Amino acid sequence: MGFYGPEPFEKATATYVWLGLRVPGALIVEVEGNAPRFTTGIQLVRDPHFVGGLKIDVMGWTGPLTNGTRPYRVRHTFQGVFHPTIVVHGSNKTEVVEVKQIPHEEADAFLQSLDAA
C-alpha cells in the first residue's frame, strides 16, 4: 500500500519571470533527486501555512517500500509576487533557494528555451 508524503531531493532551482508592469509574474521551480523505487506523482506543492515567504514541499506517493532509488526531475510554475528567496522542503532536507530573475524583455526567449529542453 502506498502513502503520500515528502520526497528527498538533491538540487532545487527557482526562476522568476517578470511578465510586465502590473502583471503577476511566474515563478518556475525545478527540483531533482533520487526517490525511493515505486514512487509516483512527484509534485511541488505550495505550503499554505508557511509565514514569512514562500515554501514549496516536494511531495509524492511511495509504496510498497523496497530497496533502491530512481532519479527524477520535476518542474512547476507558480503565479504570484516576487520573493528573492524561497524555501524548498523534502524528506531529507530543507533548503533556502535564491531566485534568479528574468526581465520581461527576455521572458519569451527564456520560456521557449524551457520548452525546447
Query: How, if at all, do strands 85-89 and 94-102 pair?
Result: antiparallel
CB atoms within 10 A of CB 14: 21
CA-atom Rg of the chain in angstroms: 15
Q: Tell me which DSSP letter residue 112 carries.
A: H
Sign of the Cα pseudo-torsion (77, 98, 5, 35, in order): positive
Q: pLDDT tens-digit profile of 35-55?
A: 999 999 999 999 999 998 999
In the chain, domain spans:
3-116
Q: pLDDT tens-digit profile of 5-35?
A: 999 999 999 999 999 888 889 999 999 999 9
* Residue recorded with cell 528573492: 84
Entry pTM: 0.93
